[in-house]
Amino acid sequence: MIFNTREDIEAPIDFVFAQISDFASLERMILRRGAEVQRRVDRTPHAAGMVWDAAFDLRGKRRQSEVTLVRFEPPAAMRFEAVSKSLNADLTVELVALSRGRTRLGMIGELKPQNLTARLMVQSLKLARGNVAKRFEMRVASYAKDLEDKYLRRA
């Protein structure tokens, strides 16, 4: 199952990439949403190979996952792979400079079930695809708006 969305941000590509690759800030944001996240492998400066352990509630059950940064290409792209017992996921983040002060943020998320239980869960998500896709798009749009506001406050 694939989710895809794009948002245009009134900020330069270097600023947007710096914000989306500020992993300490993203970790705090995830913690505020009720998930647990802990960096297990760190790279300084940031590079592919960084690893996090994550735990979160999904469909009423606590899930454990290992998230790996597999692609890190400033200022254009990042790709994360999340691996768990029953469900794997990929998240690709791509940035395109539309002009000197405008950037397009594209996110593609893919869920890959690994067993029958996960396939049933993904199938139920497919039945509610409209609502799930809308929530994904709204969350990305909200994040893009926050980045835009942060840039405007800084300028």
pLDDT band of residue 11 (cuts 50, 70, 90) is very high
| DSSP-assigned states of every residue in the chain | -EEEEEEEESS-HHHHHHHHT-HHHHHHHHHHTT-EEEEEE--SS--TT-EEEEEEEETTEEEEEEEEEEEEETTTEEEEEEE-SSEEEEEEEEEEEEETTEEEEEEEEEEEE-SHHHHHHHHHHHHTHHHHHHHHHHHHHHHHHHHHHHHHHH-
Segment 20-37 shows an average pLDDT of: 95
Model pLDDT for residues 84-137, shown as the tens digit of each residue: 999 999 999 999 999 999 999 999 999 999 999 899 989 998 999 999 999 999
Q: Where are the domains of the chain?
A: 2-154
pTM assigned to the model: 0.91
Q: Does domain 2-154 have CATH number 3.30.420.40?
A: no
| Model pLDDT, residue 155 | 67
